[in-house]
Each structure stands twice: as C-alpha cells, then as structure tokens.
Amino acid sequence: MDCIFCKIASGEIPTTVVYEDDKVIAFNDTDPQAPVHVLIIPKEHIASMAEINESNSAVVAHIFEVAALIAREKGLDNGFRVVSNCGESAGQSVHHLHFHLMGGRDFGWPAG
C-alpha cells in the first residue's frame, strides 16, 4: 500500500521524531499551523476515525496519553488542541489515522 504515514512509521521516510514506541509515532507536521504542530499516528494502518472499532480502539486511548505527555514536554500549559480530520468535508488529506496536536498560540472556535 502506498501510504506516506505507513512509510514514516516504518522509517522508510525520515521525519522529525518527537515520540515513538512500539504502537505509535509522533512527528512534526511539515506545514505547521501553530508554533507546536505534532502529528500522532498509530503504526498500524487505520484509514481514519471512521474505521475505529472495538478491535483497534486501544491505540486511540494510547495516542491521547501520548498527546498529554507531549503537551507537558512542550510546555503547553496554557492549553492546546487535538484534532483529527475525517473524510472529505473535514479536509482529510492523508488517509492514515492521525491526530494533530497544536499549541503555542490562541485558537478560534468553531474551527474553520
């Protein structure tokens, strides 16, 4: 499968690793929308939030633990935002589940 985030997860495509363990990898977004903009992904290929089910949801819980850890490490004490764009309307451009962890500025709501 020609998936850019699978290639990042396997090390085939180099990236700026922020965090990594056997289940997930977190790396800097190449087109940052905030001073801190990290993508956290499962190493397993899951296409989007729409594909989450009982058999693969544990990694999502783990991703949120990692998000809190990275936010602490990056000193995002004022707050941060975690977003997963799912499907066409939300503007998902990479079809491998990923969570944007953004911080270091104020955010509007509702988002775009």
Catalytic residues: 98
Residue 96 in the binding site for Zn ion (CB under 5 A): yes
The CB-of-6 to Zn ion minimum distance in angstroms stands at 3
The CB-of-16 to ligand AMP minimum distance in angstroms stands at 8
Tell me which long-range contacts 81-89 makes (C-beta under 8 A, separation of at least 24). Answer: 81/34, 81/107, 83/111, 84/48, 84/49, 86/48, 86/49, 86/50, 87/48, 87/50
Of 47, 60, 68, 94, which lies in the binding site for ligand AMP, with binding defined by CB under 6 A?
Answer: 94
Round to whole Å and give the CA distance between 104 and 76.
7
Of 45, 52, 81, 85, which lies in the binding site for ligand AMP, with binding defined by CB under 6 A?
Answer: 85
Contact characters 28-67, ligand AMP, x per CB under 6 A: -xxx-------x----------------------------
* Region class of 11: left (phi > 0), else alpha (psi between -120 and 50), else beta: left
* Residues making contact with ligand AMP (CB under 6 A): 4, 15, 27, 29-31, 39, 85, 91-94
